[in-house]
Amino acid sequence: MDHLSKHHYSVPETCYTLGISRSQLYKLVSVGDIRPIKIGSRTLFTDREIERFSDDLLGPPMAPQYRMASTRQHSSQNPD
């Protein structure tokens, strides 16, 4: 079954994946930061939504020229 991946996560699974409490997850839902889906009485979160939320927390990627400059600054501060 390795070719099958799980696409919908329960509230406890989503909390575990994100490393947050149930109340924190519901706060994020209430302000619209993460969107659940409802199937019957179940509240679920898609793998795409969890990934989108996580990516939003990281912000936009740094431009390559800034990554290289940042690396050089750190390496020049730690002479070995």
Write out pLDDT tens, residues 35-58.
999 999 999 999 999 999 999 888
Q: Tell me: the pLDDT tens digits for 14-36?
A: 999 999 999 999 999 999 999 99
The confidence band for 70, taking pLDDT boundaries of 50, 70 and 90, is low
8 Å CB contact between 50 and 14:
yes
pLDDT of residue 69: 55
CATH of domain 8-77: 1.10.1660
Q: Residue 5 pLDDT more than 80? A: no
Q: How far apart are CA 25 and CA 50, in angstroms?
A: 11
Phi, psi of 16 (to 5 degrees): -65, -45
